[in-house]
Structure formats: structure tokens, C-alpha cells
Amino acid sequence: MALFGKPKSTPVRIIKRKEMPEGLWTKCEDCGEIIYNKTLEENLLVCPRCQYHFSIGSDRRITQIIDEGTFVERDHDLISLDPLSFRGPKNYADKVVEDRRNTGLPDAVVTGEGKINGHDVVLGVTDSRFMMGSMGSVVGEKLSLAIEEATRSGRPAIIVSGSGGGARMQEGMFSLMQMAKTSAALARHHKAELLFISVLTDPTMAGVLASFATLGDVILAEPRALIGFTGPRVIEQTIRQKLPPGFQRSEFLLEHGMVDAIVHRKQLKSTLAQLVAYL
């Protein structure tokens, strides 16, 4: 073998790798798994590896829960005003217009009527894409009107909460009034001996949790959803103590009797249908 005849270096041909098209893959926010978007869609936006439930908008939620072709939206044209002429880093009126443009929603909740496996229901779904699903005058009014319609027609009411913003500070007392208004509407619904099911998703916080979200005859939650009045970091800073593992997650609340069941997104529609049929 001609050892001394070998070239000092071996030429390497560099092949330029074709760039991967964008929008085909999503990284799981919990386990870091790279998921093909079509697979994620087929799995109802749940990570197939760790079962992390991605946040979804009201349109997807309604499609997943309500029988195809049966949903009729209510009070679509209600829009938020600016009663306090709120000024900040971004004026309230400008922020509302921006979120309407980005989400295609008039405000942070969609309400309407439809069927779940053939059962008539009235449904409300808050949407965290619009100002974190916070509850202003329009959200409170639309939910109250939906609940009142459920009471008049003798149908079950279902509200799916995904509100990390609580009461909308830009509306001040007008927003806080919605907590009492929605609670009063549910009290009349309960007095009529009608069913209200509350579904808590990630996140459900603050004024929403302190009003209609925890008044359900049955309270369901998605796995590992953050549910509480204020965030765990704020609580730790306030009381200067370390909180228990999993504090304010749905599993912790189930263990302490704050929710009735944790339901995987794939089983949510069938579970709601069974509850409506039985109760």
C-alpha cells in the first residue's frame, strides 16, 4: 500500500440541502416534539407524544363540539365601546380594532345554538386570541343573553372558558359588573332546574373563574389546564412560600374537589352528549 502516496486531504463534495417549506411542522410547547401539522390537526391539536393540549380558537372548538351544520351564532354584531376613553401604551379602541382584524372575531366570545349528538344546547366559547379572552361588557352581555335564551327555551347551557385575562381592566367597573350579571343569569337558569355545564381550558383565570366558570352543575377541565384566580408566580411572591407541585393545574383541582372530571379533548363531545342525555 502506498502510504506516502496518499493525498494530504480528501475532497468533500458539499450538497446544499433543500430548505424545508415553512408551515409543515409544529414544536410541542411541553415536550419539544416536532409534529407534522396534518397529524396535529387530525389529533385535535393534541400532542400525540405527551398529550399536551394546544390552545385553540372558538371556531375550532365549536367545530369539535357541535354537530356539523347545526350551529347558529347569536348576537354577532355586538362590539365593544370605549366608555372610559382608556389610554395606555396602546389605546383600548385601537387594541380592539387590531384584535378584530387579527382574529376575525367581533370580541372575545362566540355564542349560539346547536346540537351535540342530536341534543339541543346553547353554547358560549371564550377565545384567548382576543385580548386573552378577557371579559368586557360585550362578553358579559353575550353570555348573559345566551344563558337567558337557554332558560327561556328549556335547553342546557354550556360555556367553554379559555380566558387568561379575567375582567377587562380597560373597561373598569363596567367589566366587573359582568361577573354579577352572568352569575345572576345562571342563578335564574338554576332556579328553572336546567343544566349548566362549565368546561375549563388553559388558561381559565381571574374574574372569569370567580364568576360563571365555577358555577356549573358539572365542571369539566382539559388536562393540565391552568385554572386559578391569579397566577402561581404572583402567589409565591405574595406569600413568600413555595407552592405544591402542579398547583392550579386541573389535576390538582380535581384532587381537591374543585372540578368534577378531567376530559381529554377527543372525549369532550361524547362526554357532553352523555351528560346532557342523563341530566
Task: Return d(Cα 110, Cα 103) in angstroms, integer.
Answer: 12
What is the predicted pLDDT for the residue at 113? 96
DSSP notation for the chain: --GGGS-SS---PPPPPPPPPTTSEEE-TTT--EEEHHHHHHTTSB-TTT--B----HHHHHHHHSPTT--EEE-TT-----TT---SSS-HHHHHHHHHHHH--SSSEEEEEEEETTEEEEEEEE-TTTGGG-B-HHHHHHHHHHHHHHHHHT--EEEEE--SS-B-GGGTHHHHHHHHHHHHHHHHHHHTT--EEEEE-S-EEHHHHTTGGG--SEEEE-TT-BEESS-HHHHHHHHTSPPPTTTTBHHHHHHTTS-SEE--HHHHHHHHHHHHHH-
Domain 56-278 architecture: Alpha-Beta Complex (3.90)
Q: Could you tell me the pTM of the whole model?
A: 0.84
Rounded to an integer, the average pLDDT of 12-35 is: 69
- 158 in the Ramachandran plot: left (φ > 0), alpha (ψ -120 to 50) or beta? beta
Give the range among 57-66, 139-148, 200-209, 254-263 with minimum mean pLDDT.
200-209
What is the predicted pLDDT for the residue at 16? 46
- Residues 163-218 pLDDT 10s: 877 888 888 899 999 999 999 999 999 999 999 999 999 888 888 888 899 999 99
Task: Return d(Cα 84, Cα 126) in angstroms, integer.
Answer: 23
Give the range among 21-25, 64-68, 122-126, 175-179 with minimum mean pLDDT.
21-25
Largest Cα span, the chain: 98
Rounded to an integer, the average pLDDT of 210-237 is: 87
Rounded to an integer, the average pLDDT of 29-58 is: 88
What is the predicted pLDDT for the residue at 2? 53
What is the predicted pLDDT for the residue at 7? 54
Is it the case that residue 20 has pLDDT exceeding 70?
A: no
What is the predicted pLDDT for the residue at 15? 43
Please list the residue range(s) of the chain that carry CATH number 3.90.226.10. 56-278
Rounded to an integer, the average pLDDT of 148-174 is: 90
- Residues 72-104 pLDDT 10s: 999 998 988 888 888 888 899 989 999 999 999
Q: Tell me the pLDDT of the chain averaged across its residues.
A: 87
What is the predicted pLDDT for the residue at 14? 46
Contacts from 26-34 at CB under 8 Å and sequence distance 24+? 26/54, 28/52, 29/54, 30/224
Is it the case that residue 50 has pLDDT exceeding 60?
A: yes
Is it the case that residue 10 has pLDDT exceeding 80?
A: no
What is the predicted pLDDT for the residue at 124? 96
